[in-house]
Amino acid sequence: MKRADYEVVVVGAGAAGIGCGVVLRDLGVQRFAILERYEVGASFRRWPAETRLLTPSFTTNGFGMLDPNAIALQTSPAYSLRTEHPTGSEYARYLEGISKYFRLPVRSGVEVLDVQSGGEEKRFTLRTNRGTIRCRFLVWATGEFQFPDLRPFPGAVLCRHYATVPSWSALPGEEFVVIGGYESGMDAAVHLARSGRRVTVVDPAAPWASQAPDPSLSLSPFTLDRLREIGGTNRIQFVAAAAEEVVQTADGRHAIQLTNGERLLTAEPPILATGFSSSLGPVANLFERQENGSPLVTEAADESTITPGLFLSGPMLRHDKVIFCFIYKFRQRFAVIGNAIAQRLGLDTAVLEQYRQASMYLDDLSCCGVACAC
Ligand SMILES: Cc1cc2nc3c(=O)[nH]c(=O)nc-3n(C[C@H](O)[C@H](O)[C@H](O)COP(=O)(O)OP(=O)(O)OC[C@H]3O[C@@H](n4cnc5c(N)ncnc54)[C@H](O)[C@@H]3O)c2cc1C
């Protein structure tokens, strides 16, 4: 690739990057590109084969409720995939379809290695494996899945991270310990138990007992149903404690020391489901941090507070206590970012009214506390 110059570059062609791309297309941005190191929907394609989206898809669009897993207006994974809980590879097909339908300028196989801001005309200079790219606005949408946190406690490197398992049924072994009891840990436990294995899940926060109404903090109904379905088999045990350390024993097993004093022994590497690292990589220094460690962005446009023109999209997005880890949450900020860029490019933003009407334009974050009366 020769040195190229764009008005806007989006990095990452997952749910966030493709969703932002559609907004830029709708706004009539002329020169933009979506840079993707692998292919559209790469993270979803790398999910374990059995894993499905927890959030249900349904063709509710006609009555003003966009399919919860849709990332663009007038599209619905339920309609295009004919399923309620798509697998990762099915959902990647939906993203690929959107990319083709809207003729998004995705450049696959382009990995951004380094980003410099400022200099001549205040542009960003991106060093990639295919050459140098420059742009005026940069949207960082690199997700989390491809950046597993492999060292959350001593000995964690002896574990197998959730994100590195191609298929649960194909994993050898009869007994497993899963460290982490939120959605990915429960997903591992459910699929292992379904294929006849015995599983112990450890988590000090005991998410399986949480009554919190925000699904970013408690288990989804889909997972609670799955746990009930296999509950009678007694194949899953729960321990409300944290793993402190994992060591390998002389006979090659794995010993997991827990904070409650218990020590669990397993032949198979424990499954690590404790989360992901930051994927900010090349732009890490271009953001300030919030107290909770998340990148600090403006409430008005999810823009870095220290690097104007740099925007953040996707599950890393947080505004204090408002967590955007699900697609139906962070998709409501694509048009907010698009609006900020369009205003500065002098483009007409009238098209964004459609986004507002479809609850795809969230600019008042005071609305987002989750409280359910029943
Ligand atoms: C098991 C599991 C189940 C989930 N279930 C749900 C669910 O039911 N509902 C829901 O709403 N959310 C769910 N989530 C969360 C959801 O999948 C993520 O929030 C979503 O994938 C994030 O989309 P994204 O576009 O930000 O990131 P990704 O889909 O990870 O896309 C990021 C893209 O950036 C590319 N990239 C990374 N670094 C670079 C670079 N330097 N240069 C170029 N390209 C780069 C990657 O290859 C990737 O394609 C789930 C997550 C997991 C792990």
Decide whether any atom of ligand 1 lies within 6 Å of the 145 Cβ: yes
Residue 148 CA to ligand 1 center (angstroms) comes to 12
- Is 218's pLDDT higher than 60? yes
Does 372 fall in a domain?
Answer: no
**Could you tell me if 195 and 263 lie in one domain?**
yes
**Could you tell me if 241 and 311 lie in one domain?**
no
pLDDT for res 322: 87
Does 13 fall in a domain?
Answer: yes
The residue nearest atom 27 of ligand 1, judged by CA position, is 143
**Could you tell me if 181 and 266 lie in one domain?**
yes
**Could you tell me if 298 and 208 lie in one domain?**
no
The residue nearest atom 53 of ligand 1, judged by CA position, is 145
CATH classification at residue 218: 3.50.50.60
Give the whole-angstrom CA distance, residue 116 versus residue 298. Answer: 20
| Pocket mutation for ligand 1, best pick of 1, 9, 37, 106 (most atoms within 8 Å of C-beta) | 37
**Could you tell me if 170 and 191 lie in one domain?**
yes
Helix or strand holding residue 101 (H, E): helix 88-101
Whole-model pTM: value is 0.96
**Could you tell me if 32 and 44 lie in one domain?**
yes
Answer for the pair 330, 317: CB distance below 8 angstroms, yes or no. Answer: yes
Query: Whole domain around residue 206: which residue ranges?
Result: 156-272
Does 374 fall in a domain?
Answer: no
**Could you tell me if 261 and 200 lie in one domain?**
yes
pLDDT for res 231: 82
Domain end marker among 222, 241, 272? 272
pLDDT for res 120: 64
Decide whether any atom of ligand 1 lies within 6 Å of the 67 Cβ: no
Tally of domains in the chain: 2
Decide whether any atom of ligand 1 lies within 6 Å of the 315 Cβ: yes
Residue 310: CB atoms within 10 A of its CB come to 22
**Could you tell me if 135 and 170 lie in one domain?**
no
pLDDT-derived band at 161, boundaries 50, 70, 90: very high
Does 357 fall in a domain?
Answer: yes
| Pocket mutation for ligand 1, best pick of 146, 316, 332 (most atoms within 8 Å of C-beta) | 146
Encode burial over 239-252: b for 16+ CB neighbours within 10 A, e otherwise: bbbbbeebeeeeee
Q: What is the pLDDT of residues 307-342, one digit of tens each?
A: 999 999 999 999 988 889 899 999 999 999 999 999
Residue 153: CB atoms within 10 A of its CB come to 16
Record the tokens describing residue 174, joined without a space: 């009869």
Rounded alpha-carbon distances, angstroms, from residue 292 to 172, 288, 289, 302, 352:
38, 12, 8, 16, 32
Decide whether any atom of ligand 1 lies within 6 Å of the 199 Cβ: no
